[in-house]
Amino acid sequence: MKTFMIVAMSIFLIAILGITAGLVIAFRKQTKDAAGKLCFGKTDVDASKSEEHSIILGRSGSGKTSAILIPTLRAFLGHCLVIDISGDILKNCQNRIKRVVFSPDNRDGSSAVYNIFAEIDELPEEERDEALERLAQMLIPVRDDKDKNDFFTMGAIALLSAALICGYHLGMDFIPSLEMVLSPQLGKIVQSSGNRYAERCMKQFGGIKPETQAACRQNAIQAISLFLNNENMRKLIHRPELGEEELNAKSIENQDVFLRIPDSKLAYYAPLVRLFMGQTFSYLLARPEDKKETILLALDELCSFGWIDIVQPMQKLRKFHVRVLLLAQSLADMDLVYGREARESVLNNAAYKCNLGVTDRTTQLYFADQAGRYTPDDDIPSAWETFLPERAPRKSRAGSYRAPPEELAYMGENVFLLHPDGYTWLKKHYYYKT
């Protein structure tokens, strides 16, 4: 009897250990999958195998935020950066507890402060001037060869670079450094500073007419007018003081980042969003190898902020364990802001392309073409159909679209998803209906 009890107890313990080990393995797998989960609809789509990018297209009110973005943020376990229009996303993602919120329109002191010089302060002395020049290029973006060959654009960047470099080395913060562009004595300040990098920036102005230099300065001032004229920017953009919560490009490694922009001021705050995303992309494109946790970048209303350099991040961020989730209203909007070639590059690097209903013909034809057309083989009857005694002849579908463009305009509760294995129809999965 004693021997029987010992054997029975041993079997029981082994069974418990086996079940526990199985639960641990299952939990780890579930955690890994959930960390990469993207919610495109009610039917599960396995998007957890690698850091793939996605683009969500749909007209206003089609459910891009409520049926895709918010359910994804509720399920995603890694850290995320979200452009939050009017705060609706954060309000409905209470699971994102460890977070930092930057609200440029907030005047009650609840917003974090944005430390633009944070990463530059950590660089070796010999690398800081180059980083300050790159900062100027984020403020005055060079979109294409036309901008590269435009003297007034490149001149504005040179002036802004010189101002940032001189201001930084004089111990100024970001906005006071920008204000040096306003000084007609900037050239003399640079010369007296002895900074060779700043001198090289100013050298191209040697011998040119004063009115030409004034036009370059005006271009620079126009690009930074938000930071110069908005008093709240001075309160929210600086190195943090004691007790202030800090936001910088590295914040995404330790917490969720929500950039809350009022819907009515998307264009107004576009230079701020462009700068912050530029700094974030710059950090993530050089992300340390030991940083393995998947990060999600969710850019809502992408085209409302004008041109943001999204092409290179879409091409290269996957290997740094970063996913990009873009939300826009149509491909026509993307063409208007980025041009067709850049838009095609973005689409080519998005493994998942989701259509929630778009009336733009360019978008409709893209999805229809990607889904393909029926072939003559699709008209061959199945094995069971050949045994039907009175099978009516079926009209040939060869050559017609599998997903007709006109059906991709008003889809109600349907979602059309292109994915690496083909395409599928899903049902919208609204967060407020779960």
**Burial group, residue 142, by CB count within 10 angstroms (0-12, 13-18, 19+):** middle
Distance CA 424, CA 404 (A): 14
Where would I find the H helices in 83-141? 88-91, 118-122, 128-139
In angstroms, the Cα distances linking 211 to 76, 90, 152, 208, 392 are 54, 48, 11, 8, 81
Q: Tens of pLDDT along 145-163?
A: 778 788 889 999 999 999 9
The whole-model pTM stands at 0.86
Instruction: Work out the angle at residue 417's Cα, subtended by the Cα atoms of residues 411 and 419, and round it to the nearest 5 degrees.
Output: 170
Eight-state DSSP code of residue 39: -
Distance CA 355, CA 114 (A): 35
Furthest CA-CA distance within the chain? 107
Distance CA 107, CA 231 (A): 10
Residues of the chain with pLDDT under 50: 2, 4, 7, 12-34, 384
pLDDT of residue 27: 32
pLDDT of residue 20: 40
Q: Note the Cα 412 to chain centre separation in Å.
A: 27
Helix (H, G, I), strand (E, B) or coil at 219: helix
Instruction: Specify whether domain 118-232 bears CATH 3.30.70.
Output: no
Give the E-state strand segments of 347-394 in sequence order. Answer: 350-355
pLDDT of residue 149: 80
The domain ranges of the chain are 34-113+254-433, 118-232
Residues 6+ apart with CB under 8 A from 203: none
Q: Which of 79, 68, 84, 88 is nearest to 431 (CA)?
A: 68
DSSP H or E stretch at residue 207? none
Q: Tens of pLDDT along 31-54?
A: 344 455 788 887 656 565 567 899
| CATH number among 3.30.360.10, 3.40.50.10860, 3.40.50.300, 3.40.50.1100, domain 34-113+254-433 | 3.40.50.300
Buried b or exposed e, range 212-244, using 16+ CB within 10 angstroms: ebeebbebbbebbebbeebeebeebbbeeeeee
